[in-house]
Amino acid sequence: MNDGPQGFRDDQHPATTIAWPSGLTMAASWDEDAVLEWGKGMGKEFYAKGSNVQLGPGLCLARIPRNGRNFEYLSGEDPYLGYRLAQPAIRGIQSQKVVANAKHWVMNNQETARDSVSEEVDERTRYEMYYPPFEGAIEAGVGSFMCSYNKINGIWSCENPETLKHDLKEVLGFKGYVMSDWGATHSTSIMAGLDNEQASADWMDDELISAELAAGVTTQAAVDDSVTRILWSMFSVGVMDEPVSTWDFINLTKNVTSDVASDSARHLSAISTVLLKNDGAILPLPKGKRLAVIGKADNKAIVHAGGSGSVVPSFVPWPLDGVRGAAGQGAKVEFNDGSDTEAAAKLAQAADYTIVFIG
């Protein structure tokens, strides 16, 4: 298995995979066919790198604007949008014989104090607002879920019997397995609905599970159910149909980028860019004019966020270069990064048009 929700993260071999558009970018497309293409493209690279589980897509709702992981999540602010888009994303990834991982279950809506916060959410709100994107994933046959760091109504997400065992598995009918986020396990939680601990075995090693079986705290039936769920995901997606060499660690060293994949990522990014307003038909800008470009448009442009969702791109076309290339013959393109607001304002006043990059 490997990170992450918008492409294969390989910090050991940077620039050997495509930095695909983020989940939130794809949500802005409102395009199921585009999301299917996105899923297939990512899944193909995971397969080529020898990874049979993609730790994505991220599906949580954007409930807190400053949440550091909003960029990862495919649902935006709309549970129905998440429900619809989760399905082609899962189908696309798993069409490449790679198990998708729907995360983070559930109510993982902030990074601040994520290891201690308790999300207080009643049953109706959970089912109407937070569960629909994950329901879409289940309907698409997703093989795995990842439970989150936070507490839910005072109980850790990865040992919460109400949200894991009851809601997810019994009510929503999820057939696959639940893994913990890295270090999010606080007990041997098999009876509560957790099937797999990541990335260590602090709570789910042979000795602890054997001791709980002997004491009657954990049942053999629950252990068997966890094993069955893990195997079901691998067999249903087709992981076990492939030669063992497909999943060899040596494949990690491969450069799996291609012109086709790069063009797809560029296309998906473009169709996800939404024009909300065009007062006075000001766009497209005429060529050959004096243009002021202000803000993070040079090599400081933010093209990807960090953490498990980061991918080192093989190439980045900086926005400033794009403006210069499209400005036309006779155009004058001047740049200010915005750190000197007085100079930036003067530049904007002198220009025919000003393009501002914010964020």
Residues designated catalytic: 181
- In terms of phi and psi (left: phi > 0; alpha: psi -120 to 50; beta: otherwise), the region of 125 is alpha
Angle at 171 between CA 169 and CA 176, to 5 degrees: 25
Angle at 197 between CA 129 and CA 60, to 5 degrees: 20
Q: Which amino acid is at 39?
A: G
3-state secondary structure of 11: coil
Q: How far apart are CA 288 and CA 246, in angstroms?
A: 53
Q: Among 93, 89, 131, which residue's Cα sits nearest to residue 233?
A: 93
Q: How far apart are CA 12 and CA 24, in angstroms?
A: 26
Contact, 64 vs 77, CB < 8 A? no
Q: How far apart are CA 34 and CA 88, in angstroms?
A: 9
Q: What string of DSSP letters covers 86-155? A: HHHHHHHHHTTT-EEEEEEETT---STTTTT-EE---HHHIIIIISHHHHHHHHTT--EEEE-SSEETTE
Buried/exposed code over 202-225 (b: 16+ C-beta within 10 A; e: otherwise): ebbeeeebeebeeeeebeeebbeb
